[in-house]
Amino acid sequence: MFSLMANCCNWLKRWREPARKVTLVMVGLDNAGKTATVRGIQGDNPQDVAPTVGFSKVDLKQGKFEVTIFDLGGGKRIRGIWKNYYSESHGVVFVVDSSDVQRIQETRETMAEVLQHPRIAGKPVLVLANKQDQEGALAEADIIENLSLEKLVNENKCLCQIEPCSAVLGYGKKLDKSIKKGLNWLLSNIAKDYEAITERVQKDTAEQRAQEEQDKKERAERVRQIREERSEESSLQQFKKVLFARMFI
């Protein structure tokens, strides 16, 4: 009887809890299937995608969570922007093209860079071993081995789950169960440590904003100095011209 009442109280407490805001960063090489995955989660057809050029921000509701996903372009030249989104992220979704064996080394190096980043290390990471429907796709165990995943997550103290999946299998209610399972794993692990992760997110975001503000001021100061130098130079040239002209009057 008591345990029934306790269960009811817990359920009521959870039901009354406000929705938790969670931000996720979705990364991986270009063509891995990030946008297809996000579209599938959103309930849109993942086949209607164009590769992510810059980034896109998607807001969705997942049970008690209000989730924002930053789907970031994976091209080599654009990966530099990823770090700008790390501080505000509670967790990471790393999408791997399991059928692209030729780029597995590049995937390993890219993943290492992400997990080692001080604003990511220690946060939960979901690895989606995507494109399992493709012939020759690496199986879960091969991906773990090729990415040195165990070593990587241990070194960076990241909780990690890998899900072999296919983003084009279905969408909305028919979304690949592995993607759903992975997302639920990620959100429930964030929920377990929600206060601590959110505190870290707030602190890191504030530090990043302050740094950006400082960089902006320094850039403005450099521009001001260059303008001042140019204007001094041009006044000097002007003065020399006048002096030269007077010598011949």
Binding region for ligand G3D (CB under 6 A): 28, 30-36, 47, 49, 51-52, 74, 95, 130-131, 133-134, 166-168
Q: How far is the CB of 111 from ligand G3D (least distance, A)?
A: 14
Q: How far is the CB of 40 from ligand G3D (least distance, A)?
A: 9
Residue whose tokens read 């979704």:
93
Q: Which is nearer to ligand G3D, 156 or 166 (CB)?
A: 166
Which residue's CB comes closest to ligand G3D?
33
CA–CA gap between residue 9 and residue 248 (Å, rounded): 100
Residue 30 known to bind ligand: yes
CA–CA gap between residue 133 and residue 167 (Å, rounded): 9
Residue 28 known to bind ligand: yes
Contact call for residues 106 and 29 (beta carbons, < 8 A): yes
CA–CA gap between residue 126 and residue 188 (Å, rounded): 12
Q: Which is nearer to ligand G3D, 23 or 166 (CB)?
A: 166
Q: How far is the CB of 204 from ligand G3D (least distance, A)?
A: 25
Q: Is 55 left (phi over 0), alpha (psi -120 to 50) or beta?
A: beta
- In sequence order, the 6+-apart residues with CB closer than 8 A to the CB of 31 are 51, 74, 97, 100
Q: Which is nearer to ligand G3D, 176 or 189 (CB)?
A: 176
Residue 31 known to bind ligand: yes
Beta strand 160-164 with 125-130 is: parallel
Q: Which is nearer to ligand G3D, 34 or 123 (CB)?
A: 34
CA–CA gap between residue 138 and residue 127 (Å, rounded): 14
Residue 131 known to bind ligand: yes
Q: How far is the CB of 184 from ligand G3D (least distance, A)?
A: 19
Q: Which is nearer to ligand G3D, 133 or 204 (CB)?
A: 133
Binding residues for Mg(2+) are 35, 52
